[in-house]
């Protein structure tokens, strides 16, 4: 079994007290230069590494942050995590990533596990099943810094970083209408997720701005956000079985967009699709996908900067911000 070298081991080997060794390693002025030199040389020789857990108990800091996302394979989240890591590692923090796979139960377990590992703070993007956020509220009330990104909880007063979902959805739907489509369906995730609410609002606003009415039969909610192929397939089959079937689809999620394309391909159906997606391989799809691209990397960076500001603040922070970053419409034929 791996046994790391301790201060006690160094003290024993050099015939010094543990407090003398500890002070020498911390380079305090109470210890003579000669003693420091001996201790540091020996520590280097045996490759002594301070125990991060012991240090964190002493400093009340673990220098690690927990990240809760639905799925790392989702191109939006993988890019956001790159942004998170780019800031965290520069500032000397480790990043511990956990996936909920859109499950509320798994989110609760992951959050509790990260908190028990004494992370200094959490970056959270809620699962599509989460309606009860008491597992986060209790930690927040006990003083654990939490910052939400992408999928946020309005009930918790803290920093939040999102994309301009409503505007992105408006532009994508408006693009389909201006391209001549009038019966536009909307495929989205669970109805209570913040991104679903904002994107549905943008979709409806674009229809109204173009003098079209909102048809509730054209709006389909996939509770697992595209993680279950059958769920996406059933929604598309139901849409295509309508007496007046849609002539285009606007999709409100990264996983759902690619899922929708693969269902259409397997059903041998061709219908224009516009959707939220940060995938880098969209040009290879046939039919192609006009996409709303979110600044995922920047969202991750900004959320991390805000979290570290909370973690390192000398006094409790009372004023919180909700940052909204602009999306970009990438039109493909």
pLDDT tens, residue by residue, 48-57: 877 655 554 4
Contact 272, 176 (CB under 8 A): yes
Biggest CA-to-CA distance, the chain? 89
pLDDT tier for residue 43 given thresholds of 50, 70 and 90: confident
Instruction: Tell me how far apart the alpha carbons of residues 84 and 122 are, in angstroms, rounded to a whole number.
Output: 11
Q: The dihedral of CA 85, 86, 88, 89: what is its sign? A: positive
Convert the pLDDT of each residue in 267-311 to its tens digit.
888 888 888 888 877 666 666 788 899 999 999 999 999 999 999
Span 58-86, mean pLDDT?
A: 88
The pLDDT score that the predictor gives to residue 177 is: 93
Whether the CB-CB separation of 309 and 151 falls below 8 Å is answered with no
CA 97 to chain centre: 9
Domains and CATH numbers, the chain: 7-50 (no CATH), 60-162+296-324 (3.40.50.2300), 165-293 (3.40.50.2300)
Q: Once rounded to an integer, what is the mean pLDDT over residues 120-147?
A: 92
- Which residues are paired to 65 by β-bridges? 95, 121
Q: List Cβ neighbours of 13 (8 Å cut-off, separation of 6 or more).
A: 42
CB neighbour list of residue 223: distance below 8 Å, 6 or more residues apart: 128, 129, 189, 190, 231
Asked whether residue 2 carries a pLDDT value surpassing 80, the answer given is no
Q: What are 42's two structure tokens?
A: 């020996």
Contact 109, 86 (CB under 8 A): no
pLDDT digits (tens, 9 = 90+) for 214-259: 999 999 999 888 888 889 999 999 999 999 999 999 999 888 888 8
Cα–Cα distance between 258 and 60 in angstroms, integer?
A: 44
- Strands (DSSP E) found in the chain: 64-69, 94-99, 121-124, 146-149, 160-163, 184-188, 219-221, 248-251, 273-276, 289-293, 322-325, 328-330
φ, ψ for residue 291, nearest 5 deg: -125, 150
Whole-model pTM above 0.75? Answer: yes
Can the peptide bond before residue 287 be classed as cis, meaning omega within 30 degrees of 0? yes
Query: What pLDDT does 287 receive?
Result: 64
Flag whether pLDDT at 58 surpasses 60.
Answer: no
């Amino acid at each position: 079994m791996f046994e790391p070298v301790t201060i006690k081991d160094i003290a024993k080997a050099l015939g010094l007290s543990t407090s003398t060794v500890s002070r020498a390693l911390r380079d305090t002025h109470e210890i003579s230069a000669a003693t420091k030199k001996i201790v540091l040389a020996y520590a280097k020789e045996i490759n002594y590494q301070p125990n991060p857990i012991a240090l964190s108990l002493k400093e009340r800091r673990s220098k690690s942050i927990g990240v809760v996302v639905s799925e790392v394979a989702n191109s939006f989240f993988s890019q956001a995590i790159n942004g998170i890591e780019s800031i965290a590692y520069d500032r000397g923090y480790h990043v511990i990533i956990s996936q909920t796979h859109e499950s509320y139960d798994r989110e609760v377990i992951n959050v509790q596990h990260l908190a028990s590992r004494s992370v200094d703070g959490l970056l959270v993007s809620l699962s599509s099943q989460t309606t009860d956020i008491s597992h986060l509220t209790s930690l927040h009330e006990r003083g654990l810094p939490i910052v939400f990104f992408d999928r946020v909880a309005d009930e918790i007063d803290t920093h939040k970083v999102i994309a301009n979902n409503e505007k992105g959805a408006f532009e994508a739907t408006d693009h389909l209408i201006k391209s001549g489509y009038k019966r536009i369906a909307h495929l989205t995730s669970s109805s209570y997720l913040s991104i679903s609410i904002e994107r549905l609002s943008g979709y409806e606003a674009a229809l109204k701005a173009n003098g079209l009415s909102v048809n509730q039969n054209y709006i389909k909610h996939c509770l697992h956000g595209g993680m279950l192929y059958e769920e996406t397939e059933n929604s598309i089959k139901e849409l295509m079985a309508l007496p007046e079937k849609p002539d285009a689809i606007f999709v409100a999620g990264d996983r759902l967009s690619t899922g929708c394309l693969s269902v259409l391909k397997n059903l041998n159906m061709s219908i224009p699709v516009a959707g939220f997606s940060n995938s880098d391989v969209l040009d290879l799809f046939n039919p192609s996908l006009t996409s709303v691209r979110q600044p995922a990397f920047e969202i991750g960076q900004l959320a991390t900067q805000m979290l570290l500001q909370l973690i390192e603040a000398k006094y409790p922070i009372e004023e919180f911000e909700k940052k909204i970053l602009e999306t970009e419409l990438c039109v493909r034929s």
